Amino acid sequence: MHRSAFRLGLCMALLFSASAAAFSTQEAVDTVTAKLICDCGCNNLTIKDCTCGKADRVRAEVKGRLDSGQTPEQIVRAYVEEYGEQILAAPTTQGFNLVGWIAPFAVLLLAGSFLVLALRRWARVPWHEPPLAPMGPGARAPDPSFLKRVEDEVEDVER
């Protein structure tokens, strides 16, 4: 009885460890392929998300490299050496590529600052009728009868 329980436990442990190893391998494949862009012309999808035949071959190649003992970082470096940095889904955080990480935040900061300044300026503008323009030399006051006709017209329109 003890031997059969031991055997059952041993079989279960082997199954779980095998599935855990397969799961961690698949996670590693997903990690690597999520960092690489498929260059088959499928709208810049990552190898992980692309469904073309080339992506299938690369996923199999990545799995083979992982099984042979390479680390995910080594595999990504190998692809960058072979295809160049354009194979990466995200730019590196070194050199000129740092602009790609900083520029969007800088633009948002500048746009937000401009918006705050514009809103403050607009808040200072009075929202009532503008004052009448001062009359310069040689200007004459409007005819009172004309002003009366304008006021009557406005009242008629408002009714």
pLDDT at 113 > cutoff 90: yes
Cα Rg of the chain (Å, integer): 36
Q: What is the pTM of this model?
A: 0.48
CATH superfamily label, 16-90: Cytochrome C biogenesis protein (1.10.8.640)
- Indicate the pLDDT class of residue 89, thresholds 50, 70 and 90: confident
Buried b / exposed e across 84-93, counting CB within 10 Å, b at 16+? Answer: eeebbbeeee
**What does the CA dihedral 76, 54, 25, 72 come to, rounded to 10 degrees?**
0
For the chain, the structural domain boundaries read 16-90, 93-122
Angle, vertex CA 67, rays to CA 64 and CA 69, nearest 5: 115
Question: For the residues 124-138, what does the mean pLDDT come to?
Answer: 66
**What confidence category does residue 121 fall into, taking pLDDT thresholds of 50, 70 and 90?**
confident
The mean pLDDT value of the chain amounts to: 78
pLDDT at 107 over 70: yes
**Higher pLDDT pick, 131 / 34:** 34
What pLDDT is stored for residue 127 in this prediction? 64
User: What local confidence, expressed as pLDDT, does residue 109 receive?
Assistant: 95
When comparing pLDDT for 76 and 25, which is higher? Answer: 76
* Most confident of the following: 5-9, 40-44, 78-82, 126-130: 78-82
Q: What is the pLDDT of residues 34-54, one digit of tens each?
A: 888 888 777 778 888 888 888
pLDDT-derived band at 106, boundaries 50, 70, 90: very high
Count other C-beta atoms under 10 Å from residue 33's C-beta.
Answer: 23
